[in-house]
Amino acid sequence: MTGMSATGKSSVLAELARRGHRVVDTDYGDWIEEVPLSESGGTERLWRAKAVEALLDEHADGTLFVSGCVANQGSFYSRFDAVVLLSAPPNVILERVATRETNRFGRAEQERAAILHDLAEVEPLLRAGATAELDTRAPLHEVADALERIAGEARG
């Protein structure tokens, strides 16, 4: 699964875990490295390739749901049975970041501007690489049901 901030990735992962699936949220733990960008002086978040490769290599049974949104995720798409974009309209996302309690990102005006920028510039790239898209305005259980269905169909 992939998607912009506040599209519900963490929430649906928690629901899928509650249902007994193996889940990995790459926003937490040792999955990410910050790589310097020479032109801007900033950094870019990337998956640690060896860690993600090992995760995918060792997975054998059941369904593994992996969530993340990083610049190099597309290089791993061939390793996934499906790539699902979770999306919601900008007004919904801004409301979620203003009220969520699990993550403070998006409360500052600069962060909200970055979210809107990413929705305009990054989300279309994610959409182009996705095999499916789910609107997360639907109830959480319906989004989880749809992900289970997509995973089942992808495995054949």
pTM greater than the 0.75 cutoff: yes
Find the domain containing 81 and state its range. Answer: 9-29+63-155
How do residues 106-153 score in pLDDT, each as one tens digit? 788 898 998 999 999 999 999 999 999 999 999 999 999 999 999 999
SS3 148: helix
Residue 106 falls inside a structural domain: yes
Residue 86 falls inside a structural domain: yes
**51 close to 24: Cβ distance less than 8 angstroms:** no
Look up the CATH number of the domain holding residue 115. 3.40.50.300
How do residues 74-93 score in pLDDT, each as one tens digit? 999 999 999 999 999 999 99
